[in-house]
Structure 1
């Protein structure tokens, strides 16, 4: 194998994402400083994020929707020496299972009727120390999820599938 074939092989591997995820939890925060509220469904608009969420929306914002992997919740709980950590404590809008969110880098994906595009990592903030106590920030580091912008708005519901969209030809 030559070094010229490795990046091409790696590029191919990075594009392989046949798994379908599942939307496990939807949350909104109605106002600054308020707790997240669970919703069974929500409407998401381009530039506006989730209906009822405190995010007021800008068309150019890279943080219109935040997502976290359900599989990371027990990891965070373990690092905090807790039995469980509820998604509402992590202040993310959507909890997804069955799909590695980091594999969505630079890609568009569908959640229910909505098309999102990953825009970056969702790093923890200092509020994790307030929520979880000393070490809360570091427990969430590397497990904070991703940010996304809305490409196509629509409805989402608990249980909706989450699928990467094929690259345009």
Structure 2
């Protein structure tokens, strides 16, 4: 493990669990985001009922996450008093965890284990959703992409737990 990985592991060792606040799925590209209370994840594919499951097998972007704290920051940058998570087109909204420390980590939500692996950059559609400057306001606050490492079910209200790194666990650090 390199020095950057060791430092991040040390910082992350005491992260308190967060909470899954919201789940959204889209059955098709540019489709309406449907809000649900529980979902099922399939290893290597993503979330059952989400369009990305069909088009990104094995992809790093099987599930997208954003934090309520990031949404609060986006509100400040855009002047909105609140933003419906559906407008941001992510799958999961969590709260209570510093998302900046969650990149390249494994998270357990219900029965599911996700491995975060990339920043989820905003697309130009955010100007449509949030108004002029919406894309710029989301830069750095777009959340994370993740792969499903262990499938299963999870529900709104479940704890989001950062799993400890196992020495033999393959690391994604650059």
TM-score (norm 1): 0.89
Distance 2:165 2:150 in 1: 16
Match of 2:47 in 1: 50
- Which of 142, 154, 157 aligns to 1:156? It is 154
Pick the structure with greater CA Rg: 1
C-alpha distance 11-127 of structure 1, shift in aligned 2 (>3 A) = closer
Give 1:105 deviation, angstroms.
2.3
Q: State whether residues 46 and 59 of structure 1, in contact with CA within 8 Å, keep that contact through their aligned partners in structure 2.
A: no
- Which of 90, 101, 104 aligns to 1:103? It is 101
Give 1:79 deviation, angstroms.
1.2
TM-score (norm 2): 0.87
Structure 1, unaligned stretches of length 5 or more? Answer: 1-5
Structure 2, unaligned stretches of length 5 or more? Answer: 168-174
Q: Compute the RMSD of aligned alpha carbons.
A: 1.9
Match of 1:40 in 2: 37
Q: Which moved more, 1:19-28 or 1:42-51?
A: 42-51
Q: Secondary structure of 1:71's partner?
A: helix
Q: Secondary structure of 2:44's partner?
A: coil
4+ aligned runs moved over 4 Å, structure 1:
6-9
Q: State whether residues 17 and 164 of structure 1, in contact with CA within 8 Å, keep that contact through their aligned partners in structure 2.
A: no
Give 1:34 deviation, angstroms.
1.4
Q: State whether residues 47 and 57 of structure 1, in contact with CA within 8 Å, keep that contact through their aligned partners in structure 2.
A: no
Q: How does 1:58-97 map to 2 (within 5 A)?
A: 58-97=56-95
Query: How many equivalent residue pairs?
Result: 164
Q: Which moved more, 1:78-87 or 1:22-31?
A: 78-87
